[in-house]
Amino acid sequence: MKVTNKGKFAALAAISVSALVLTGCGGGSTPAANDSPDSGEVNLIAYSGVWQDQYTAAVIEPFKAKYPNIKINFSSKRSSAEMLSALQGQKNSPATDVAIMDNSVSTTGNKQGLFEKVDAAGVPNLANVPDDFKNKDGFGPVVMLDAVGLLYDTAAFPKAPDSWDVLWDPAYAGKINVNAPPSLLGLSLTAITSKMEGEDYTQGIDKAVARLKELAPAVQTFAPNPDEYQNVITGQTVLGLGQNARGQFYSDQSNKKMGVTFPKEGTVYQINTVNLVKDAPHAAAAKTFIDYSLSAEAQTAFAKALFYAPSVNNADLPADVKDRVVPTDGSLNIIPLDVDFLSSARDKWTDTWKREIITK
Amino acid sequence: MTLLKTRGRSPLQAAGSGELEKATEKRNRRTYLALLIPGLLGLLVSFVFPLAYMVRMSFNKGAPDGVIEETFTFDTYLQPLTDPYYWKVTLDTFQMGVTVGLLCVLVSYPVALFLARSQSKYRGLLLAIAIAPLLTSAVVRTYGWMVILGTNGLINSSLTGMGLIDTPLKLTNNITGVTIGLVEIFMPYAILAMISGFGRLSPQLEEAAGSLGASKAKIFARVTLPLSLPGILTAFLLVFVLSISTFITPRLLGGGSVQVLATEIYDQTTGLLNWPFAAALSVILLVLFGLIIAVYQRLTRKIGG
Amino acid sequence: MSETKLSIVDLTKRYAAGLDPAVDRLNMQVEEGHLVALLGPSGCGKTTTLRMVAGLMDPTAGSIVVDGKEITHTPVNKRGMGMVFQSYALFPHMNVEQNVAFGLQMRQTPKAEQKKRVAAALDMVQLGHLGKRQTRELSGGQQQRIALARALVVEPTLLLLDEPLSNLDAKLRETMRTEIRSIQQRTRATTLFVTHDQDEALDMADRIAVMNGGLIEQFGSPTDVYERPQTHFVANFIGQANFLDVTIISETGPAPVAGEASYKVDVEGLGGFGAVGAKGLTGAHELVIRPHRLKVTLTGEGHDALKGTIERVSYTGDALSVAIAVGERSFNAQLLTTSGDLPRRGDTAYLSWAPEDAYLLPAAAPGKAS
């Protein structure tokens, strides 16, 4: 037994040393045998559901046509948090190459050393990403943008509501869905409400909490099922919080039974970054994929498919698509939800919602 | 033992065959152990290791964003135990378990009793129908309840259609919906548990009571009910334990406002990535189970007489 | 003449339309204080009859009258009968006293009286010391007695026993037989007793109803059904019998038993013999001779003796069963064993019987031979 243990230790040590050496002289990856920029495979972790369907159709399929020797394995998760916990689990022996996830979560991943920096060397399209959408420290850049929107039943609202105040209108009491934190939607609503109440949510959210407490009894569900969009479409609720991109998509799917709008007080971005996993087994092919995801072709295709705003400046959207993706030209009032702040506030705000806002 | 067994044979023979017996016994025991190994290994890998890992995890320190600090602290336990919010969540969990257990027993008992006593040739078929819901997952059935209980669901649209109510009843996204869903979902378990616990019940005992002058109601009160009590208790315990550990139905039908230990553990695990805290809550839930089962066993021993 | 306690009129039970009835227009009168055994093979309808009397089963037709009152459709709990089940059906969640007291509780007997009567009932079955025991701690015989005490403590109009001894071992069965009979006689409880064991019925019953195929074949005292079987089935089911197909030659005068006649009969191939039977019989009949009434000698004593060969000998200690071939026929005989030489297979034996031991079945013979 002891001998075996020693043997194991020796093997582990050897692996660690070689890993260190490789990290020292190489790009920080232990390439798989069959990995090259135009062949091998890429293990991608990203969102599930309609996101997966549309991304596969708009981006992955054309990519495969262009790079027939690269296979994409799509592992889908319901939230960025679940992706992060999966990546944390494989930190010692990464099985994933690329992660497309929420900005706030990828920032955490960057801090935890889960991701690799991405530079123009393997990813020439990075040049088309404006500096605002690049990571300050050189990690994965923004790949698409969306924002929190107000979902509404078009039968109840022939004209889109123009203010978040409509949520507090007694006429709609009991017909509202709000995803409570830790969902980004709930966190965003907290920030939006705080802003509306004229306080600085980085200092305190007492006023927002008071206001949200008034809202809580009118909320039909804090965890809409099957999701926030279907709730409005089926008439279970008439107002809800949702992502603009999916909202636009489901609006089409439901024959405009539901609409989605950005109220005048402004909203919060939901930003997805594309990230290269540290020590990714197929780093070379992964970079090819990341580069493609930042191409004008992929960006335009996905904007048309699921109404995410492109993060590159050379993507030209048709007017009817451009009108429905979140504006990135400063025309929309964006309430900045700083990722560093959010990562410390998420637990606190979640607790506040659970203990003070959601009551039975 | 050996002496008794070998009586009547010469000591020499006895000694020889005694050795032989011992050797055979030893070999048999070794065979038994060998046969146990696959099961034990499976249990070790799928149960003991994860459990040990979970317990170990519960003494770590969780920082925001899922960072886990390897340490040995009781903070993860102190936090929920000293926080009235978690006491309330625990109490709510307990209360939900009791309510669901009682209602489930109440609605399942007549079915179980009927099935247990039925002499019909369709008994097997009826039993299969009673437990057929187990063939669909609890998730699917929960979604079914969402459709039935929703604002525009079957019940509300029927009631408004008949003019009995003006505004739809709130049957889902609250504890009412969770309770209704759980009671239905656990009925097959309750029925099976009851039928298996009705072992001492027999039509002859009821006939005997009848022949001694007991009316139908008296037969039920004095014979049927007391003898089905073990089944009822087993079913209650099973449903109770299943309800306090279930996560899907409270999550889907609770609309985020039904906070129980299981949903709390889920939130901590996947939402806030605080694994140590989630592990501590799981251990607390596990201890709660242990206590309840201990109490139950004392109770059944008493009833079993 | 005692009073009629129970009267069953044309009682019929059909489990399903189209099936043969399990009980078919059954009639029976039971006298007060009598123990009547319903005896028959399984499936003969005896348990069904008992359950209808108990009220555990609804008759398809007919009526049941107890003490002059029709109770055909009275619910079981209003009949005031005491029943002992084959499985005893003791309540497992009650101790011995509670079991026995159950019927009194249902009758709302005052507590003090309950106590007294329970104690008396337990004493009657000699288990007064086991009152606080749990029933599962008792032996089969003890459980049986508790079941009896429980049924009797309510002073039932009728005591109904459904194969009460069939779950006991042979030795205990004999003891319980005597005990049940003596308790029944002491309490003078009119009793219906279902059994498939003819010894039990002969030993215990005042009257035996021999049942077959939902019908009573014969209702009479133990000696009646044994000595004067009215049908082939009864003769065959109770005890053992040799059957001979005979033709009556002539009635020769009165028989030793009042109301019967002596006959001269012809057995084909064997010649003429004396026999007894009901008056006025003619033609073909079946003759019944019990094996132990056959006289067997190895030396050819007596005239009229049939000469045969011993085919089979079966030794049971006190008795010896032998099968003797006489021509084409085979006779079963039973002998008491003696200390001397016993007959062996292949020996020549001589067979005879007294005319009064040869009984003619009243029904015309269908042409069976054993």
Q: Is the pLDDT of residue A5 over 70?
A: no
Average pLDDT, chain C: 90
Domain extent at residue B20: 2-48
B60 belongs to a structural domain: no
C246 with C299, same domain? no
- Number of domain units in chain C: 3
Within this chain, do residues C38 and C94 fall inside the same structural domain, yes or no? yes
The CATH number linked to C334 is 2.40.50.140
Q: Are strands C82-84 and C69-70 parallel, antiparallel or unpaired?
A: unpaired
- Name which of B131, B113, B112, B98 is nearest B296 in CA terms: B98
Range from A137-146, B204-213, C18-27 carrying the lowest mean pLDDT: C18-27
What pLDDT is attached to residue A323? Answer: 92
Q: Does B249 lie in the same domain as B179?
A: yes
* pLDDT of residue B192 exceeding 90: yes
- The whole-angstrom separation of Cα C233 and Cα C235 is 6
CA distance C119 to C127: 9
* Contact pairs from chain B to chain C, CB under 8 Å: 68
Q: Are residues A155 and A175 in the same domain?
A: yes
Tell me if chain C has a CB within 8 Å of the CB of B211.
Answer: yes
Q: Return the number of other C-beta atoms located less than 10 Å from residue C95's C-beta.
A: 19
Are residues B98 and B27 part of one domain? Answer: no
Residues A72 and A165 occupy one common structural domain: no
The verdict on B25 and B88 lying in the same domain is no
The total number of structural domains in chain A stands at 2
User: What's the confidence (pLDDT) of residue A35?
Assistant: 82
Q: How far is CA C323 from CA A180, B70, C309, C319, C338, in A?
A: 97, 95, 8, 13, 18
Chains near A, with 3+ CB pairs < 8 A?
A: B
CATH number of the domain within which C206 lies: 3.40.50.300
In this structure, are residues A321 and A307 in contact, taking their beta carbons and an 8 Å threshold? yes
Closest CA–CA distance from residue B125 to any residue of chain C (Å): 22
Residues C359, C263 within the same domain: yes
Q: Are residues A208 and A251 in the same domain?
A: yes
Residues in chain A: 360
Report yes or no: A289 and A156 within 8 Å, Cβ to Cβ: no
Say if residue A218 is in the same domain as residue A293.
no
In terms of domains, do B44 and B84 share one? no
Number of structural domains in chain B: 2
| pLDDT at res. A360 | 56
- Contact (CB, 8 A) for B213 and C106: yes
pTM equals 0.79
Which residues contact residue A78 at a Cβ distance below 8 angstroms, ignoring those fewer than 6 apart?
A47, A48, A49
Same domain, B249 and B134: yes
Instruction: Tally C-beta pairs within 8 A across A and B.
Output: 87
Residue B69 lies in a domain: no
Greater confidence (C84 vs C272) lies with C84
Checking if the pLDDT of B211 tops 90, the result is yes
Task: Work out the percent of chain C whose per-residue pLDDT is above 70.
Answer: 96
Asked if C74 reaches chain B (Cβ–Cβ under 8 Å), the answer is: no
The rounded distance, in Å, linking the Cα atoms of B110 and B122 is 17
Which one, of C296, C239, C288, lies nearest residue C267 by Cα? C288
Q: Does B257 contact A at CB distance below 8 Å? A: yes
Residue A250 has pLDDT above 80, yes or no: yes
User: Are B148 and B12 members of one domain?
Assistant: no
Check if B50 contacts A (Cβ < 8 Å): no
Q: What amino acid occupies position B10?
A: S
- Going by beta carbons, is chain A in contact with chain C, meaning 3 or more pairs sit under 8 Å apart? no
CB contact under 8 A, B256 and A358: yes
pLDDT tens for residues C261-305?
A: 999 999 888 888 899 999 988 889 999 999 999 988 887 666 678
pLDDT at B14: 46
A298 and A182 within one domain: no
* A175/A82 Cα distance (integer angstroms): 29
- Across residues B121-145, what is the average pLDDT? 90
C37 and C104 both lie in a single domain: yes
Are the C-beta atoms of A341 and A199 separated by less than 8 Å? no
Could you report the predicted ipTM of this complex, rounded to two decimals? 0.84
Q: C79 with C207, same domain? A: yes
Does C370 score more than 70 pLDDT?
no
Q: Does A184 reach chain B within 8 Å, measured CB to CB?
A: no
> b/e string for A98-113 if b means 16 or more Cβ within 10 A?
bbbbbbbbbbbbbebe
CA-based nearest distance A87→chain B, Å? 11
Same domain flag for A248 and A339: yes
Q: Domain residues for C122? A: 4-235
Q: Give the pLDDT of residue C120.
A: 94
A275 forms beta bridges with A99
B17 pLDDT more than 70: no
Question: Residues C350, C297: contact at Cβ < 8 Å?
Answer: yes
Pairing of strands A176-177, A219-221: parallel
- On whether both B9 and B121 belong to a single domain, the answer is no
- Asked if B251's CB is within 8 angstroms of A81's CB, the reply is no
Do A106 and A273 touch, CB atoms closer than 8 A? yes
Residues of chain B in contact with residue A88, where contact means CB-CB under 8 angstroms, are: 66, 273
Token pair 């067994």: residue: B5
- Token readout for B257 is 């406002």
Kindly report, residue by residue over A37-90, the tens digit of the pLDDT.
888 999 999 999 999 999 999 999 999 999 999 999 999 998 888 899 899 889
**Chain B contacts of A171, Cβ < 8 Å?**
none
Q: Where are the alpha helices (DSSP H) in C196-336?
A: 198-204, 222-227, 232-237
Can you give the pLDDT at residue A10? 41
> Which pair of structure tokens corresponds to residue C149?
């005490």
**pLDDT for residue A341 is more than 90:** no
* Mean pLDDT, chain A, whole residue set: 88
Are C150 and C245 part of one and the same domain?
Answer: no
Greatest alpha-carbon span in chain C: 76
Instruction: Identify whether the C-beta of residue C261 lies closer than 8 Å to the C-beta of residue C356.
Output: no
Same domain, A211 and A348: yes
Whether A239 and A344 map to the same domain: the answer is: yes
Indicate whether A213 and A283 sit together in one domain.
no
* pLDDT higher than threshold 80 for residue A309: yes
**Which residues from B are below 8 Å from C117, CB to CB?**
none
- Residue B264 is which amino acid? E
Q: Are residues B199 and B300 in the same domain?
A: yes
Chain B, residues 27-56, CB within 8 A of chain C, namely none
Looking at the structure, do residues B141 and B190 belong to the same domain, yes or no?
A: yes
Mean pLDDT in residue range B176-193? 94
* ∠ Cα A127 A133 A136 (to 5°): 90
- Using CA coordinates, name the residue in chain B closest to A186: B256
pLDDT on residue A30: 52
Q: How confident is the model at residue A31 (pLDDT cuts 50, 70, 90)?
A: low
Same domain, B112 and B29: no
| Matching residue, tokens 């009258």 | C65
pLDDT band at C368 (very low <50, low <70, confident <90, very high): very low
Please check whether residue A73 is in contact with residue A312, taking contact to mean a CB–CB distance below 8 angstroms: no
Whether the per-residue pLDDT at C254 is higher than 90: the answer is no
Establish if A10 belongs to a structural domain: no
Confidence of residue A257 (pLDDT cuts 50, 70, 90): very high
Do B83 and B172 share a domain, yes or no?
Answer: yes
Do the beta carbons of residue A43 and residue A281 sit within 8 Å?
yes
Whether residues A247 and A125 share a domain: the answer is no
What is the distance, to the nearest Å, from the Cα of residue A302 to the centroid of all Cα atoms in its chain?
Answer: 14
- With touching defined as 3+ CB pairs under 8 A, do chains B and A touch? yes
Number of H helices, E strands in chain C: 8, 20
pLDDT of residue B18: 65
Within-domain flag for A33: no
Mean pLDDT of B131-141: 89
- Would you state the pLDDT for residue C24? 92
CB B198 within 8 A of CB B109: no
Give a yes or no: residue B210 inside a domain. yes
Same domain, A264 and A285: no
Q: Which of A72, A91, A57 has its CA nearest to residue A288? A: A72
For A144-172, what is each residue's pLDDT tens digit? 999 999 999 999 999 999 999 999 999 99
B214 min Cα distance to partner chain C (Å)? 6
Q: Determine, for residues B226 and C93 on separate chains, whether the beta-carbon distance falls below 8 Å.
A: yes
Shared domain for A200 and A315, answered yes or no, is no
* Residue of B208, B215, B227 lying closest to C85 (CB–CB): B208
CATH of the domain at A106: 3.40.190.10
- B106 & B178 share domain: yes
Q: Which of C113, C94, C99 is nearest to C146 (CA)?
A: C99
Beta carbons of C85 and B214 less than 8 Å apart: no
For A89-134, write each residue's pLDDT tens digit.
898 899 999 999 999 889 989 988 999 999 988 899 999 999 999 9
Residue C80 region by backbone torsions, left for phi larger than 0, else alpha for psi between -120 and 50, else beta: left
Average of per-residue pLDDT across B160-187:
91
Q: Which residues of A touch B274 (CB under 8 A)?
A: 347
Name the residue range of residue A242's domain.
148-269+333-357
Task: Please check whether residues C103 and C68 belong to one and the same domain.
Answer: yes
Q: Which of B202, B211, B223 sits opposite C76 (nearest CB)?
A: B211
Summarize pLDDT for A63-74 with one digit per residue, the tens.
999 999 999 999
Tens of pLDDT along A168-198? 999 999 999 999 998 889 999 999 999 999 9
pLDDT at residue A20 is higher than 50:
no
List Cβ<8 Å contacts ≥24 apart for A322-330. A324/A244, A324/A248, A325/A145, A325/A146, A325/A244, A325/A245, A325/A248, A326/A145, A326/A146, A326/A147, A326/A244, A326/A245, A326/A262, A326/A269, A328/A145
Which pLDDT value is given to residue A279?
93
Is the CB of C334 inside 8 Å of chain B's CB atoms?
no
B195 occurs within a structural domain: yes
Confidence tier at B12 by pLDDT (50, 70, 90): very low
What would the mean pLDDT of A232-243 be, rounded to a whole number?
94
Closest to B75 in 3D by CA, of B89, B57, B61: B61
* Closest-CA distance of chain B to residue A109, Å: 9
**B247 SS3 class:** coil
User: Degrees (nearest 5) of the Cα angle B281, B283, B287?
Assistant: 115
